[in-house]
Amino acid sequence: MKLFFSCRNSFIARLGLSRGIRAGLLVVGSTFASHAQPASPAPTAMLLRPAAVFDGQDRHEGWAVLVENNKITAVGPAAQVTAPAGARMLDLPGLTLLPGLIEGHSHLLLHPYNETTWNDQVLLESQALRVARATAHAQRTLLAGFTTARDLGTEGAGYADVGLKQAIDQGIIPGPRLLVATRALVATGSYGPKLSVDEDVPQGAQEADGVDGIIRAVREQMGKGADLIKVYADYRWGADGSAQPTFSQDELNLIVQTARSAGRGVVAHASTPEGMRRAILAGVETIEHGDGGTPEIFALMQKRGVALCPTVAAGDATAQYKGWRKGTDPAPARIQQKHVSMAAAVKAGVALAMGGDVGVFAHGDNAREMELLVRDYGLSPLLVLRQATSGNARIFHLADRGRLAPGLLADLVAVAGDPTQDVAALRQIRLVMKGGVLYRQP
Ligand SMILES: [Zn+2]
């Protein structure tokens, strides 16, 4: 264990983290060691006493949370939560303690398009460079309070997300728990990059078509470590550059059937009514983006129990990369359309997952999606906070997290202020714990 922590500490040191964060790396129920100190016994339990607790559903003042090893063992009014002898006491005055946030749509292998275009990232950046960046992205995500991320495609970086997940799980690099989609599936010809018609260049996802091709590709991705399958049900490959459906209904049905028979769900990128409709009928679990959704399509989603991950932050970011001066210029047509479709989705009672398509914008800036949902789209901070915790956990089948309750993983975040009233509090991250390990503390 000492070696484990020595390695971790020296890694953190090389990344140039502040002394406070380095000093804060502690594990409950294990040994804290550093180069300077010999190993000494650490408490096996920690009692956290914040001003209030958000348990994934509601906020409770004066509650406390007991963590033992990597699990939560008690939650409730402070007077009723008693710590075992020798437990560490951590008072968190003025802070709200909440479940670790769950990012619903990330691309750890991408970085913002205003730094490098998507085409150039896919075609010109080496796998080593992309993975090295991704390790830094994973750390920023975790320190921003996101202890889980559903990573929806490596965009040309093969199965690098599987190795990244292993490195995090083995404690080699700090990062969130990952659900990975690996390469994602696209219909031949529909995706990019596209250069000269004379050159077949590496694509940002795996092309697969027809019965044999689709079954093989889905099984290959699962065999190499995909936790879920991502499919592009439409893309901008219309003759006029518009988004158009890609896979046929039969192909989408087959993707879902092949994944489901091996215990995996399917998520679909879709923004056209027809692409969304086919994906919903095929039985996908979430629709990503959904910008062109109509009241009829959202009614179908609601009826079939398909959730929408609206990724409003990605559209907001790309519109600004294209020159939109937000706050000065009127909203571009695409943003206006997004407001119309989001209103229709909410009216239809569609379940909303919280995910921003982070990678299009900077990793660690994940809270941007939640801020926009509140400030631009009129959702309440409480609703958005539920989406990012218990809501995403339910939609992603993660029964061991997203709420604060005995027996669940000790994935906790503390923020200054009250995030159920003011979304800005989510930028005031003071403590991050994952599996009982503190990565950030006051
Ligand atoms: Zn995406």
Is residue 259 within 8 A of residue 222, CB to CB? The reply is yes
User: Which phi and psi (to 5°) does residue 40 adopt?
Assistant: -140, 150
357 alpha carbon to ligand 1 midpoint, in Å? 5
Residue 253's pLDDT is 98
How many angstroms does the Cα of residue 192 sit away from the middle of ligand 1? 14
Kindly give the distance from the C-alpha atom of residue 151 to the centroid of ligand 1, in angstroms, as a whole number: 8
The yes/no answer on whether domain 2-100+402-440 falls in CATH 2.30.40.10 is yes
Ligand 1 mean position, distance from CA 27 (Å)? 34
Centre of ligand 1 from the C-alpha of residue 202, in Å = 18
- What distance in Å separates the CA atoms of residue 84 and residue 106, rounded to the nearest whole number? 39
- What's the confidence (pLDDT) of residue 244? 98
Q: What is the pLDDT of residue 340?
A: 98
Angle of helix 249-260 relative to helix 273-282, nearest 10 degrees, comes to 40
Can you give the pLDDT at residue 44? 85
Whether residue 229 contacts residue 183, with contact meaning beta carbons closer than 8 Å, is answered with: no
Distance 156 CA to ligand 1 centre (A): 13
Is residue 290 within 8 A of residue 280, CB to CB? The reply is: no
pLDDT in tens, 214-224: 999 999 999 99
Quote helix, strand, coil % in the chain, to nearest 5: 35, 25, 40
Tell me whether the CATH fold assigned to 2-100+402-440 matches the one assigned to 101-395.
Answer: no
Cα 340 to ligand 1 centre (Å): 21
Q: How far is the CA of 417 from the centre of ligand 1 (A)?
A: 31
What per-residue confidence (pLDDT) applies to 3?
38
C-alpha 107 – ligand 1 centre gap (Å): 6
C-alpha 168 – ligand 1 centre gap (Å)? 21
Q: Distance, CA 166 to ligand 1 centroid (Å)?
A: 21
* Ligand 1 centroid distance, CA of 109 (Å): 11
- Spatial separation of the C-alpha atoms in residues 286 and 250, rounded to whole Å: 19
Per-block mean pLDDT, blocks of 10 residues, the chain (442 long): 38 39 44 38 84 98 97 98 95 98 98 97 98 98 98 98 98 98 98 94 97 98 98 97 97 98 98 98 98 98 98 98 97 98 98 98 98 98 98 98 98 98 98 97 94
**307: CA distance to ligand 1 center in Å?**
16
Distance between Cα 214 and ligand 1 center (Å) = 21
Instruction: Using the mean position of ligand 1's atoms as its centre, give its distance from the Cα of residue 74 in Å.
Output: 37
Q: What is the DSSP letter of 78?
A: G
Please state whether the predicted TM-score (pTM) of the whole model is above 0.85: yes
What is the reported pLDDT for 35?
A: 36
Which of 370-408 are b and which e, b meaning 16 or more Cβ less than 10 Å from the residue's Cβ? Answer: bbbbbebbebebbbbbbbbbbbbbbbbebeebbbbeeeb
CA 438 – ligand 1 centroid, Å: 29
Ligand 1 center to 242 CA (angstroms): 18
Domain segments of the chain as ranges: 2-100+402-440, 101-395
Measure 19 CA to ligand 1 centroid, in angstroms: 34
Spatial separation of the C-alpha atoms in residues 301 and 90, rounded to whole Å: 44
Separation of CA 152 and ligand 1 centre (Å): 6
Name the amino acid, one letter, at 72: I
**Residue 341 alpha carbon to ligand 1 centre in Å:** 18
Cβ 342 vs Cβ 377: under 8 Å: yes
Note the pLDDT of residue 22.
39
Report pLDDT digits (tens) over 35-59. 334 344 555 899 999 999 999 999 9
Tell me if 389 sits within 8 A of 139, measured CB to CB.
no
- Give the right CATH number for 101-395 from 3.30.70.1340, 3.40.50.970, 3.40.50.2000, 3.20.20.140: 3.20.20.140
